[in-house]
Structure 1
């Protein structure tokens, strides 16, 4: 099973840390291993660089998502995709401060959800702590000022 935490990063922070994603990842990793002493400080740092999930817009995008070959189940805070043909399934849990995505089988279902999330906002940062993987769902474009 693959598990991802997805955070919406403030645009200014996303631009500033483009190419330095490992620094963001290590902040979120510190949260996982925080002690009582530094837990509050790390949570404040994460709150400062993240935005609340635009729940209504996300629900609207997911409501209209009807990918071919998938069975879709929806509730207010959960969205599930199943594809029996490719043995792919993914489940997205919507929380106020982050999204949690779990998937099994092939990557078809999780890729479909990632594509839908890219339409919501560009600065989603995905983290897979178990596999030590991370990255932007939609790469942040650098603007060169001449």
Structure 2
């Protein structure tokens, strides 16, 4: 099973650390593994670099887009896509979006694509499998000298 947390990163941090996503991964990994006072300090850092997920607009976008997808169920803050051999569940939270997926990757990619098209600076992190990346890569400006 794959488990992703998707964070909306503040634009200034996303631009500054583009190409160094490993630093974000390290921060979220340390936050997950820490406890006590260190956990509180890292939580404040995470809160500083992330933006809250706009719950109702995100829920409307997902509901509107998922109507077209076969095998979709929506129960409160959870969307599920289930196929014969794969599936994914998306849970909408205030600070992050969680996606749990099993089987081939096709169901989670449906969620990723919807989020990519409709929101910016989203960073997906799978701590267990050490995978991370932007859902929509930041376009780099090319300067001509």
TM band (smaller chain): over 0.9
2:88 and 2:99 mapped to 1: Cα distance?
A: 7
1:96 and 1:145 mapped to 2: Cα distance?
A: 38
Q: TM-score, normalised by structure 2?
A: 0.92
| Matched residue SS, 2:95 | coil
What pairs with 1:1-146 in structure 2 (closer than 5 Å)? 1-64=1-64, 65-68=66-69, 70-84=70-84, 87-144=85-142
| Matched residue SS, 1:38 | helix
Determine if contact 1:15/1:141 at 8 Å carries over to the other structure.
no
Give the CA deviation at 1:127. 0.6
Give the CA deviation at 1:106. 1.1
Q: TM-score, normalised by structure 1?
A: 0.92
Give the CA deviation at 1:144. 4.2
Task: State which drifts further: 40-49 or 53-62.
Answer: 53-62
1:60 and 1:8 mapped to 2: Cα distance?
A: 17
Determine if contact 1:81/1:109 at 8 Å carries over to the other structure.
yes
Unaligned runs of 5+ in 1: none
Determine if contact 1:59/1:76 at 8 Å carries over to the other structure.
no
RMSD between aligned alpha carbons? 1.3
1:105 and 1:113 mapped to 2: Cα distance?
A: 15
